[in-house]
Chain A
Amino acid sequence: MLLQIKKRTLIVSGVILVFALVLFWWLLKGQPLNISERVPGMDDRPKMEARSDTVNIGEFFDSLAEMDALVQGDWPRFRGVDLDNISKDTTPLAETWDTSGPAIIWRTTLGEGYAGPAVHKGRVYLLDYNERKKADALRCFSLSSGKELWRRWYYVDLKRNHGYSRTIPAVTDKYLVTIGPRSHVMCVDPVTGKMFWSIDLEKEFGIPGTEKGRITPDFYTGQCPLIDNDVAVLAPGGKALMVGADCASGKILWQTPNPDSLRMSHGSIMPMIIQGKRMYVYNAVGGVCGVSAEKTDIGKLLWTTTEWSPATTAASPLFLGNNEIAVFGSYGAGCARIVINTTGSGYSATVKEQHKATNGLASDQQTPVIIGNYIWSVLPENAGALKKQLVCYKKTDLLTSVWSSGKEYRFGRGLGPYIVSGDKLYLLDDDGKLYFYNIQDNKVTLITSHKVIKATEAWGPMAIAGKYLIMRDSRNLLCLNIGK
């Protein structure tokens, strides 16, 4: 018996000894993998602050030609008159195109970028970037001929970062407001180009030394200005979440505090009436907010939520009805449905549902269009089976598509613009092919398509004014005749 116990002890001791020796050998051998720590700061990133150079906004003016024929048509800002990307112009448009496609009325060269045109009273306005001069240039063209009438410009040093220009001017009878790639705001007379005032948002509202106080987002400013009752409404982030500047004087009439340090995104401010209250809704970097647009408390921060805060966002918020909005994120972040409720003291925002681009409605760049009860979008490249397809979702269900163009019809990289007029939908793919669809409630039928231009990154939003459709690629601006 004693012998048996001794034998067992010996075996156990032997096993332990072997195990200990193996462990000792393993520890001596060192780390099996070449593990190195990954911590912030390994990229030698310096402290990035706004550039301190002084930009004399709107310094130069070139008068280039006299106005010629004044033609009808209005697309006075980003997403048109009603901010819905639907043209209400009654000019009859062609029901189909022949093999030569819509006629190109005029064409001009631009600096590399994605800035779209605004049209008002026979003039086309575009905030371009002149790479040779290194200058932002507000260019005014005749809608009928494409002749450049005048140019208001100023030196501003930019480095190519996926193009330069991105924004669309806002224009009324009296004022025209632009935001440049480095957040320089300019207000001019839309007919004469006379300079009224300017604001350097970076200088006025940036908080030097803080990352969140830098106004201009990555890839430069994409926010399009809004003119509301002769007040330019802008969302700088930094010291003020939103500001209202008097279009006549440039004086800041009101400014909204920024308690959550929200930052400027590539989206634009959308006025909406929610819970009976008119408000400016903005999908910032870091969260979404609603600011009063009513005289009694204009500029007051009504609600904010940081529940939805994708790293970057380009599409602007959409009003879905029932006090709900849809907001979008880029890089596959997808979409969220936010409901705005009233509370005893004001308003609250709750993210009711959110999903990745693979699971439902999404948009990386363009703002989807609502027609009746349906939302139309081209899904991004990372949207799974429906990637790069034109899709339709019911406003009440952002997860299940009710129609899609099918895998035979994927549109470039899913980043091109689309625009609606009556029952017609025009979709431009990244490579310059224009698709012409007929809308029937929750589906569309392809009428025809035409390769307008051998394009590169045709991402700038389009405009419809009268019988003209104005489109661009990275370096060309074209005016097409889509009329009957």
Chain B
Amino acid sequence: MKEGNNKYQSRRDFVRTAGKLIVAVPLVIIPVFLAKKTSASGYVWQIDPFKCTQCGQCKTNCVLTPSASKCVHAFRMCGYCDLCGGYLRQGVKTISTGAENQLCPTGAITRKFVEEPYFEYTINEEICDGCAKCVKGCGDFGNGSLYMQIRHDRCVNCNQCSIARTCPSNAISRIPANIAYLPKDKR
């Protein structure tokens, strides 16, 4: 080996350079990592469906009207029941799409016949006001396939979420934006 081609003059130089790198790299990376972690845009508010008690405060406490909290549907969990506790009011005499039979105050749930005896339920988020009545109805006797989530195409991601402050079950917390949702059927 020719001596002139050797980058490091001695073992001491090598150790010194390596030491500088070991100190410098974390000095650069850690602040970037921390800055990214504490950035508000990196986190979003979300409802844990397993903690939510369907108290109805999502509807009234969000700074948006209608609320950014919406009912969503885990189709994989749904029983596709004709007598659906999330769609129909308690004690209905007729199972039909008549307004008098529907639990949703805004008519945001659409029910369509699939094949006997199954019906599919879909949520119109444009008119869902986040009252969670259907979520409660579904959980009372059904499979609990309806649940609440904060929709990030609407949520303004307040620094201090006004629903989270009043949520009686502490179901709302910040989660990384790359996760964004807590789907009930994938946990």
21 CB < 8 A contacts A-B? A38-B97, A38-B99, A39-B97, A40-B94, A41-B96, A42-B111, A43-B113, A48-B116, A48-B117, A159-B117, A162-B79, A218-B81, A218-B117, A311-B88, A311-B90, A311-B92, A311-B93, A329-B91, A331-B140, A332-B140, A380-B141
A-contacting residues of B (Cβ < 8 Å)? 79, 81-83, 85, 88, 90-99, 102, 107, 110-113, 116-119, 126-127, 136-137, 139-141
A44 contacts B118, C-beta separation under 8 Å = no
> Interface on chain B toward A: helix, strand, loop, or mixed SS?
loop
**Could you tell me the distance in whole angstroms from the C-beta of A12 to the nearest C-beta in chain B?**
36
CB <8 Å contact, B90 and A309: no
A389 CB–B CB distance under 8 Å: no
Q: Write out the residue numbers on chain A whose beta carbons fall within 8 Å of the beta carbon of B136.
A: 382
A113 CA to B118 CA, complexed, in Å: 18
- Which residues of chain B have C-beta atoms less than 8 A from A159's C-beta? 116-118
Contact B81–A38 (Cβ < 8 Å): no
Q: Tell me whether A331 and B111 are in contact (CB under 8 A).
A: no
Closest residue of chain A to B100, judged by CB? Answer: A38
Within 8 Å CB of B110, what residues of A? 42
The answer on a CB contact under 8 Å between B90 and A333 is yes
Binary B-proximity of A342-382 (CB < 8 A = 1, otherwise 0): 00000000000000000000001000000000000000111
Query: Which of A34, A40, A46, A310 contacts B96, CB < 8 Å?
Result: A40
* Size class of the A contact interface (CB-based, 8 Å): 20 to 34
A310 contact set on B, CB distance < 8 A: 90-91
B118→A38 contact, CB < 8 A: no
Interface pair B140/A382, CB less than 8 Å apart: yes
User: Does A161 count as interface, using CB distance less than 8 angstroms?
Assistant: yes
Please state if A333 and B91 are interface contacts (CB–CB under 8 Å).
yes
Q: Is A454 an interface residue (CB 8 A)?
A: no
**With A and B bound together, what is the CA distance between A37 and B82 in angstroms?**
21
Asked whether A45 is an interface residue with its Cβ less than 8 Å from the other chain, the reply is yes
CB within 8 Å for A162 and B81 given contacts A36-B107, A38-B97? yes
Which of A40, A43, A364 has a CB less than 8 Å from the CB of B119?
A43
- What B residues does A329 contact at CB under 8 A? 91
Query: Contacting B111 at CB < 8 Å: which of A43, A162, A364, A382?
Result: A43
Per CB-CB distance, the 9 closest pairs between chain A and chain B, nearest first, are A40-B96, A38-B99, A42-B97, A382-B140, A43-B111, A40-B98, A218-B83, A44-B113, A381-B140
Q: Which residues of A contact B93 (CB under 8 A)?
A: 309, 311
| A381 CA / B110 CA spacing, docked (Å) | 25
Confirm or deny: A106 has a beta carbon within 8 angstroms of a beta carbon on chain B.
no
Known contacts: A43-B112, A48-B116, A331-B90. The answer to whether A381 contacts B99 by CB under 8 A is: no
- Taking the closest CB of chain B, its distance from the CB of A7, in whole angstroms, is 43
Q: Please determine whether A40 and B97 come into contact, CB atoms closer than 8 angstroms.
A: yes
A38 to B90, CA, bound (A): 18
**Smallest Cβ-Cβ distance to A364: which chain B residue:** B141
- Is the C-beta of A97 less than 8 angstroms from some C-beta in chain B? no
Give the residue of A46, A161, A311, A380 whose beta carbon is less than 8 angstroms from that of B81.
Answer: A161
Question: Which residue of chain B is the closest to A216 with respect to CB atoms?
Answer: B117
Contact A38–B107 (Cβ < 8 Å): yes
Residue of B nearest to A46 (CB): B113
In the complex, chain A residues whose CB is within 8 Å of the CB of B119: 43, 45
Find chain B residues with CB under 8 A from A331 CB.
Answer: 85, 90-91, 137, 140-141
Q: How far is the CA of A37 from the CA of B100 in the complex (A)?
A: 11
Contact check, B90 vs A43: say whether CB atoms are below 8 A apart: no
Question: A332 to chain B: which residues have CB within 8 Å?
Answer: 90, 140
B137: chain A residues at CB < 8 Å are 331
B111, closest chain A residue (CB): A43
**Contact call A380/B140, Cβ cutoff below 8 A:** yes
Question: Which of chain A's residues have a CB closer than 8 A to the CB of B102?
Answer: 38
Q: Which residues of B contact A161 (CB under 8 A)?
A: 79, 81, 117-118
Whether the Cβ atoms of A39 and B99 lie closer than 8 Å is yes
Given contacts A218-B82, A331-B85, 8 further A-B contacts (CB under 8 A): A39-B99, A43-B113, A45-B119, A218-B81, A219-B81, A309-B93, A312-B83, A382-B136
A381 touches B118 (CB 8 A): no
A330 at the interface (CB under 8 A from B): yes
- Chain A nearest Cβ from B153, distance in angstroms: 18
Give the CA-CA distance A382 to B89 in the complex, in Å: 13
Within the complex, what minimum Cβ distance (angstroms) separates B91 from chain A? Answer: 5
Question: How far is A271 from B92 in the complex, measured between Cα atoms in Å?
Answer: 29
Docked complex Cα distance between A331 and B136 (Å): 11
Closest residue of chain A to B99 (Cβ to Cβ) is A38
A298-334 near B? 1/0 per residue, CB < 8 Å? 0000000000011110000000000000000111110
Query: Closest chain B residue to A218 by CB distance?
Result: B83
A332 to B86, CA, bound (A): 13
With A44-B112, A380-B140 known as contacts, the answer to whether A219 contacts B97 (CB < 8 A) is: no
- Chain B residues whose C-beta falls within 8 Å of the C-beta of A41 in the assembled complex: 96-97
Please tell me if the beta carbons of A38 and B98 are within 8 angstroms of each other in the complex: yes
Q: How far is the CB of B95 from chain A (nearest CB, A)?
A: 8
Residues of A within 8 A of B112 (CB): 43-44
Residues of B within 8 A of A309 (CB): 93
Complex CA gap A331/B126 in Å reads 28
Report the Cα distance A4→B92, complex, angstroms: 64
Binary interface encoding of chain A residues 141-165 relative to chain B, with 1 for a CB under 8 A from any of its CBs, else 0 = 0000000000000000001011000
Bound-state Cα–Cα, A405 to B118, Å: 37
Residues on B with beta carbons closer than 8 Å to the beta carbon of A44: 112-113
The residues of B that contact A364 with a CB separation of less than 8 Å are 140-141
Q: CB-CB < 8 A to A46: which residues of B?
A: 113, 116
Interface string of A247-261 (1 = CB under 8 A from B): 000000000000000
CA distance A124 to B85 in the complex (A): 35
